[in-house]
Chain A
């Protein structure tokens, strides 16, 4: 069965969706991603959907769910590279994904994530070590 690879980049997780998401794949991605977030204690999830040309309400909801679930586990979600047609479809479906942050490309998405989570915890750990 197909799986969408989840890459760990420091404290962020990077998911690049290169195929059109059908329902089962989306559900698998959701659970894989949540497992990964809890295992790696990631602070941010970046989902690149620039290659996705077709969406439906289900996928819109999955994206929203991923954002809310990550939020509970203290990770921010940024969706990047949405195609105009996809954006129009989601808006027409009434899904504005209000809990999801968005950016134009991966670079801007990373920048946004860094800004969202503030100073990295490693700095704090160093600080803590110094004090001890």
Chain B
């Protein structure tokens, strides 16, 4: 890009910013509910400053180090926007409207020199297109991070380890068990065993819709791991159809304590710990 054009752009900065803001505000898809005009102004000004500074160093190559501040600003911006709930279209429009503005300004300035106008327009377009791709890429990355975090949270929430009695933990599993989830379940359970010093863990699978050979294998692994730590594991809530599948699949659960309901598992746990629970006389009058 020619130095005369760059210095011209620098001189016209205020005008560019104004035109750019107008271009952005004119667009029908702008989400005024998500971002205030002042914020938009600040963001635009920051980006324009960084961009002009980079241009001043004489490069439009995306790999160049001088463009790094610009890319950083755009990445921050698009990640924030991804979290705020902007669409990809709205986010990339931010850069595209700048391209439009640059082209308008250059057109006015260089209308007598078509050759130069053509050259500079192409160059600016190329650079802003690349920047726009960066924006979209980071936007998608930001969204993916949100999704990953939510996935983690869901698997965390859906596997609570409850201390039902002194020395007895219960872990009601709700939903389909897959490898990743079983890993979380196993880790949570083992951590909690260490933390509370519980000797018995009850795995309640009445909320698991189906058990296939893989899930059964995961369950057996969990039971073995608890045993290695020095605790006992009881599996409860095995429903009729699950019992049928397990037997049909030829899975041997015979050396694992299994109970039909959480209540009977709790009873077994009491007897293993020599705890007696009795119905007594009512001591106070309600």
User: Which A residues fall within an 8 A CB radius of B?
Assistant: 79-84, 86-88, 90-92, 96-97, 102-105, 108-109
Most buried by B among A82, A84, A105: A84
Select one of B191, B221, B230 contacting A108, CB under 8 A.
B230
Q: How far is the CB of B159 from chain A (nearest CB, A)?
A: 14
Contact A96–B228 (Cβ < 8 Å): yes
User: Which B residues fall within an 8 A CB radius of A?
Assistant: 186-187, 190-191, 193-194, 197-199, 221, 224-231
| Chain A residues positioned under 8 Å from B224 (CB to CB) | 91, 96
List the count of A-B residue pairs having beta carbons below 8 Å apart: 55
Please classify the interface of chain B as helix (H, G, I), strand (E, B), loop, or mixed, using the class held by over half of its residues. Answer: helix
Q: How far is the CB of B254 from chain A (nearest CB, A)?
A: 14
Contact B225–A91 (Cβ < 8 Å): yes
Give the docked Cα–Cα distance between A105 and B231 (Å).
Answer: 10
Q: Taking CB as reference atom, which chain A residue is nearest B190?
A: A84
Q: How far is the CB of A42 from chain B (nearest CB, A)?
A: 20
Select one of B194, B197, B228 contacting A102, CB under 8 A.
B228
12 contacts between A and B (CB under 8 A): A82-B228, A84-B191, A84-B194, A84-B225, A87-B229, A88-B186, A91-B221, A97-B228, A104-B194, A104-B231, A105-B197, A105-B230
| Chain B residues positioned under 8 Å from A105 (CB to CB) | 197, 230
Give the docked Cα–Cα distance between A96 and B256 (Å).
Answer: 13
Q: How far is the CB of B218 from chain A (nearest CB, A)?
A: 10
A84-B187 contact, Cβ under 8 Å, with A104-B193, A104-B197, A104-B199: yes
Most buried by A among B198, B225, B226, B231: B225
| Chain A residues positioned under 8 Å from B199 (CB to CB) | 104, 108
Q: How far is the CB of B17 from chain A (nearest CB, A)?
A: 55
Contact B230–A82 (Cβ < 8 Å): yes
Select one of A92, A96, A102 contacting B229, CB under 8 A.
A102
Select one of A88, A92, A97, A103 contacting B190, CB under 8 A.
A88
| Chain A residues positioned under 8 Å from B197 (CB to CB) | 104-105
| Chain B residues positioned under 8 Å from A83 (CB to CB) | 194
Q: How far is the CB of B195 from chain A (nearest CB, A)?
A: 10
